[in-house]
Structure 1
């Protein structure tokens, strides 16, 4: 190992010279919808990838066009063998922890979610903005024994919720007794008319 913390060796498995050390990472983040309504949830998505020099080699760039996913320290050994030595993809790969923070319209900075990326480097989380206004959203990977930290930012705007629409007052329905009384009166009137007509004929 040299004074910079890198270990250089010849790998007899594939006869390649490897340089192993802590590498750089890159984080991306998006939030949707970009214009939200107060009281609604916001979805935060992004990726954390390994941008070490080896990931830019032709073979790795072709196999991982979206970048080599960053993985946890406990998954690192088998993952590096998969990425660089053509060994089988490990089935139990764990990603890295990501913290989602915001700078809210009042200038307050705080954490709103924690999540873990998957074996594709993808992460997601949701939160409900507490007040209307403009937000800066920060996704932060704090780094590990294998990667240096990285972060990314995006923004969204939260509008005031529209006023509630008052419920329409239902039209009162006449009780059944009213309809019964009206029909009874109509029958009596009809009988009276028939009676008068019969009396006139006499």
Structure 2
């Protein structure tokens, strides 16, 4: 959320080349997540991956090269990085829409009163994004509960169980261990948690429409 908010503020204030920057930020949204995961598998591969090649051969920083997806201490961080790359554009859209919905008269009045730059962001823009904070927060929670593709494609939950997520646990319990009863119970609990947040999201959107 913080990264998306920072990018949205940057896009709002940058006038030159704004369209190009928006395209770069939003492009990952239209790329299938499974394809993104396969590309990042190659980038993060230990021996012939692009990242380690740049660190070892280009920057001569061999001590920073790591088995990113085969090390329990770096695997989850790598998956989080891929998840951020794939989803930060969507939350940026939400924040940018919230910023652009602020009345121009309010922004102009603040500038006339001497609130410009950082002061305008802190005093005017950020306080007027309360609803956007709630919506983006709920969306982030719902998306976090549904994470499956990245760990399934890139690490299969490993090494060990260091990147095992809830959806994978349900999948493995049902189709590897064939314990359908336990898998169904976990699925119902996860579905109930997701439904609670979805209802909160619906309620907030409905309240906003009525306002």
**Range class of TM-score, shorter chain:** under 0.3
More strand by share: 1
More helix by share: 2
* TM-score, normalised with respect to structure 2: 0.22
* TM-score, normalised with respect to structure 1: 0.22
